[in-house]
Amino acid sequence: MDQVLQSMQKNWPVLLLLVALAIGAAAPLAFGLSAPGFYVEVLLGGLMSGVMYSLVALGFVLIFKASGVFNFAQGAMVLFAALAVARIAEVVPLPVAFVATIFIMAVLAWVIERLVLRHLVNQDAVVLLMATLGVTYFLDGFGQTIWGSDIYKIETGLPKTPVMILESVFEGGILVNTEDLVAAAIAALLVLALALFFQKTPTGRALRAVADDHQAAQSIGIPLNRIWVIVWTVAGFVALVAGVIWGSKLGVQFSLSLIALKALPVVILGGFTSVPGAILGGLIIGVGEKFAEVFLGPIAVKQFDLAGGGIENWFAYVLALLFLLVRPEGLFGEKHIDRV
């Protein structure tokens, strides 16, 4: 009990922030701003985009954990993978295109390790960040060079028509997309599979070992280079899943690569080294920005006579900034204490 109190005393700014978030989330219902059915609809919509943010953030976290590299190219990888699937699927069935793209992402991982990472090991974080920025722009452009720059479709064959559910519980029922539900389920499965892979297999153990201490991992015979290729391949696979899901929803186009910018506040909120953090962070930001847009927007219009739009665009960043102020390592991140 004492311990709980003590940690509460130490962490009160974080707690305050979390409580504020919780109140903000409950307020629309409590003050009767929205019908319960509509509230749940917005919540679901937020959770679904949150899951997608989580997927991209997961790619960040995987690579950061294993190599200390902040991979700015994660968003470009999403676009690249989605483009590859979309164009290959024009000539072969979608599952074949999907598998082919897994191979493409693996080759890409190998090339990045061989040509870039291997030579920059132990350089400053800034150097590595610049290198991944280079990779980002290369991938953005190179993807267009190979696959073209139009908007392409990925046909998953799932029904896009919205359906009404829970009509008996809420007045008017809840409108959801079957495709969205399937996408969320797939994303959840992927996260679960990754967690098991990391915890239960020897390769996962080796990955965690490298993430923990490079030098020690090498001395017991874990080959860093191979581990990096594996991690980048897994991150490529995560990017592929994210790309297919978003691509089938919005069409494969350049704006997909910008999703990386949305995942940035997610990792700040969840912590750069935490897989659960990436997931929870994605959900909080997904739901938070939807709520802010839908419920705060009208208030801004009615009470203050503002235009009221665009809250969805900045909400995530303001939240991330607040977290940087009160808890720079994120909700689940490791606290770094450097020797000076």
Scanning residues 77 to 136, which ones bind another protein (CB under 8 A)?
none
Burial of residue 109, with CB atoms counted within 10 A of its CB: 0-12 exposed, 13-18 middle, 19 or more buried? buried
Selection from 234, 237, 187, 189 nearest residue 207 by Cα: 234
Instruction: Provide the greatest CA pair distance for the chain.
Output: 65
Tell me if 275 sits within 8 A of 55, measured CB to CB: no
Number of shown-chain residues binding another protein (CB under 8 A): 24
Nearer residue to another protein within complex by CB, 178 or 225: 225
Q: From the list 23, 96, 99, 216, which residue makes contact with another protein (rule: CB under 8 A)?
A: 216
- Which of left, alpha, beta for 24 (phi over 0: left; psi -120 to 50: alpha)? alpha
Distance between CA atoms of residues 74 and 97, nearest Å: 20
Q: From the list 58, 187, 230, 263, which residue makes contact with another protein (rule: CB under 8 A)?
A: 230
Taking the complex as a whole, the smallest distance from the CB of residue 194 to another protein amounts, in Å, to 10
Q: Does 200 bind another protein (CB under 8 A)?
A: yes
Which amino acid is residue 261, in one-letter code?
L
Nearer residue to another protein within complex by CB, 44 or 206: 206
- Which of left, alpha, beta for 219 (phi over 0: left; psi -120 to 50: alpha)? alpha
Nearer residue to another protein within complex by CB, 176 or 230: 230
Q: From the list 1, 122, 202, 339, which residue makes contact with another protein (rule: CB under 8 A)?
A: 202
Residues in the chain: 340
Window contacting another protein (CB under 8 A); options: 28-36, 86-94, 145-153, 197-205: 197-205
Nearer residue to another protein within complex by CB, 43 or 230: 230
Residues engaged in binding another protein (CB under 8 A): 197, 200-206, 208-209, 212-213, 215-224, 230, 334
